Amino acid sequence: MATCPECDAEIEIDQDDLEEMEVGDPWNCDACGSSLRVANLTPLEFHGDDDDDDEVDDDGAGAG
């Protein structure tokens, strides 16, 4: 069983979904609603979905 990297809740997955799952597939945490991506299948692991790369801590970036 995998856990959400954002809230540490257990992520329960149907056996059918698990058989069709591939690395990189999107998933949502039922507990906190975070968007996740499958990072590894054995053991099953998820990473936060970092598609929002616009939120980078750049001091003064884009100024000028």
Burial 4-22 (b: 16+ CB within 10 A, else e): bbbeeeebeeeeeeeeeee
Answer whether residue 54 shows pLDDT above 50: no
Mean pLDDT across 53-64: 50
Report the candidate in 26, 22, 45 with the shortest Cα–Cα distance to residue 36. 26
Between residues 54 and 19, the one the model is more confident about: 19
The model's confidence at residue 56, banded by pLDDT at 50, 70 and 90, is very low
Segment 2-49, tens digit of pLDDT: 999 999 999 999 999 999 999 999 999 999 999 999 999 999 999 998
pLDDT of residue 40: 95
